[in-house]
Homo-oligomer: A and B are copies of this chain.
Amino acid sequence: MVESQTPEIELVLGAPKSELATPALLLDLDKFESNLQKMASYTATHSMGLRPHAKSHKCAEIAKRQISAGALGICAATITEAEKLSAKGVTGILITSEMVGNDRIDRLARLTQRAPDTISVVDNPIHVQELAKAARRHDVVLNLMVDLDLGLRRTGVASVAEGMALAESVMKSRGLRLLGVNAYSSMSAHVTGWSERRTHSLNSMKKAVDLFLRMKNSGMPIEILSGSSTGTYNIDIEIPEMTELQAGSYVFMDVDYSIIGGERGPVYDDFQKALTVLATVVSKSHKGVATIDAGFKAFATDRPFGPDIKEGPAVKYHFGGDEHGILEILSPEGDSESAFVLGSKLEFVVPHCDPTVNLYDRILCTRDDKVEAVWTIERGYC
C-alpha cells in the first residue's frame, strides 16, 4: 500500500489520529473507497467512459485505484503531473491544458515516447505547427484533441468554425494524430441547484457536440468527446455523443461542492466527504474563541468561505493568517467543551480540495481512526 517506507512514514503507520503532527491532510479510506466505487459503478452502468481529473489529487496511488476500478486513464493539468504519475505506472493520461512553450512541448514529446497513449490538447494554429515540428524532431506521434471554449474564455478555440479549421490543420500535419474534442464547462460545475445546473451544462455542451459531430461527419477518425465535472457527472451522462467524463473531486469532496445542491435536495451528498485537515488547538486565551494551527498554508483560500468542522461542536472558522485559524465557538456548551482544551485535535472539511491538496506533500490515509497508509502527493514547481 505504501510507496516508500522511510523511517518517518513507518512511525506514522498505525498511529491514531490523536497522535499525529498537525496540520495533516487525512483521507478516510472507507469514504474514499465508497466514492471510488460509486462513480465507477455509475459510469459502467451507463456505458460511459471515465477519465478522472488527477489535478485534484496528484497521487499515483489514487490514480491507480481509479484505473483498477475501470477508468480509461486519468486527466492531468500540468506536464509535471503527467510525468510524475506516468513514472509511477499510471496510463492513459490526457493533459487537459495546452502544453505551450518549448520546454513543455519537448517534455510532452519525450513523455509520449515513453507512454504512447498520452494525449494533449490544442486551441491555436501556431501551437499545432510547433507540436508537429516537435513530433518530427522527436520521431514520435503526438495524440491531440481540439480544446473548445464553452464560455469562460480561458482556454479553447472560440468557435466551432475555428475548431473545424484547427482540426483540419492537425489532420494534415505529419506526426500528429487527432482523437477528438476536449470541452470542459467549468462555468456549469458549480451552478447552484441540480436542475439549474442541468440546464446550464446541457446548453453549454451543445457547442461541443456540434463540433464533435461536424468533425465526425467530415470523415475525421475521431473517437473522444471528453469533459464534465463532479457537479455534472449525472447530467452530462444524458449526452449521447459524450464518450468520457473528467470528474475528479468526487474522490474527496469539499465545502465548495457540498453547497451546490443535489438531485434530491439543497445539499449535494452524492459522494462522501473523505478529505479533511486535522488541526490542533494551540491557543485558548479568550472566551468564545479558540485558535488552531491551520491557516492560509493549510487550507486553500480561493473560495469566499473557509473550512467546515467535520463533526463535534458548532464553530465558525475564520482565517487567522498563514499558520492560524480562529474558531468562533457557536456551541451552547462553549468554552467548557473539551474540544477546545489546549492540544485538542479537530478535523475540518476543506473549502476547495484541489488547491488544498497542493499545499501538502502526502496524504495520511486512515481507517478506524488509525493511519493505514501514507500516499505521496506529486507536487511540482510547474
A177 is an interface residue with CB less than 8 A from chain B: no
Chain A 17-56, CB-CB to B under 8 Å as 1, else 0, gives: 0011111110000000000000000000000000000010
A296 → chain B closest CB, angstroms: 4
In contact, B382 and A24 (Cβ under 8 angstroms) = yes
Copies in the complex: 2
Contact B152 A284 (CB under 8 A): no
Tell me if A5 counts as interface (CB < 8 A to partner B). Answer: no
* Residue A153 at the chain B interface, CB threshold 8 Å: yes
A124/B285 in contact, CB under 8 A: yes
What sequence of 0s and 1s flags, for each residue 320-358 of chain A, a beta carbon within 8 Å of any chain B beta carbon? Answer: 111110100000000000000111000000001011001
B154 to A320, Cβ gap below 8 A?
yes
Chain B binder among A85-93, A192-200, A259-267, A275-283: A275-283
If A153-B285, A155-B285 touch, does A319 touch B343 (CB 8 Å cutoff)? no
CB contacts (< 8 Å) of A104 on chain B: these are: 21
- Chain B, residue nearest A379 (CB): B361
The minimal Cβ–Cβ distance linking A305 to chain B, given in whole angstroms, is 13
Complex CA gap A322/B76 in Å reads: 12
Interface residues of A in 86-131 (CB under 8 A from B): 97-98, 100-104, 123-124, 126-127
Stretch at the interface among A156-164, A208-216, A239-247: A156-164
Closest Cβ–Cβ distance, residue A41 to chain B (whole Å): 28
Q: Is the CB of B127 within 8 A of A342?
A: yes
**A234 contacts B by Cβ under 8 Å:** no
Interface stretch (choices A135-143, A167-175, A286-294): A286-294
Most chain B beta-carbon contacts within 10 A, residue among A22, A282, A319:
A282
Residue count of chain A within 8 Å CB distance of chain B: 68
Cβ contacts under 8 Å, A293 to chain B: 97, 100, 382
**Max chain B Cβ within 10 angstroms of own Cβ: one of A124, A284, A322, A343:** A322
Collect the chain B residues with CB atoms within 8 Å of residue A359's CB. Answer: 358-359
Residues of the B chain whose Cβ atoms lie less than 8 Å from the Cβ of A301? 300-302, 355
Does A367 count as interface, using CB distance less than 8 angstroms? Answer: no
In the complex where A97-B323, A124-B284, A283-B124 touch, is A291 in contact with B381 (Cβ < 8 A)? no
- Closest residue on chain B to residue A322 by CB atoms: B354
- The residue of chain B having its C-beta at the shortest distance from the C-beta of A23 within the complex is B382
B361 touches A283 (CB 8 A): no
Bound form: Cα–Cα A101–B18 in Å: 10
- Nearest to A21 among chain B residues (CB) is B103
A77 at the interface (CB under 8 A from B): yes
Measured CB to CB, the nearest residue on chain B to A99 is B282
Bound-complex Cα distance A282 to B101 (A)? 8
Partner of A283, one of B22, B24, B154, B321: B154
23 contacts between A and B (CB under 8 A): A19-B102, A20-B103, A21-B382, A22-B382, A23-B381, A23-B382, A24-B381, A97-B293, A97-B324, A98-B283, A100-B280, A100-B343, A124-B284, A127-B342, A152-B326, A153-B291, A154-B291, A154-B321, A155-B291, A155-B324, A297-B354, A301-B301, A322-B355
Q: With A100-B342, A153-B286, A297-B358 given, can you name 8 additional A-B contacts, CB distance below 8 Å?
A: A126-B341, A126-B343, A149-B286, A153-B285, A156-B283, A293-B382, A297-B355, A302-B319
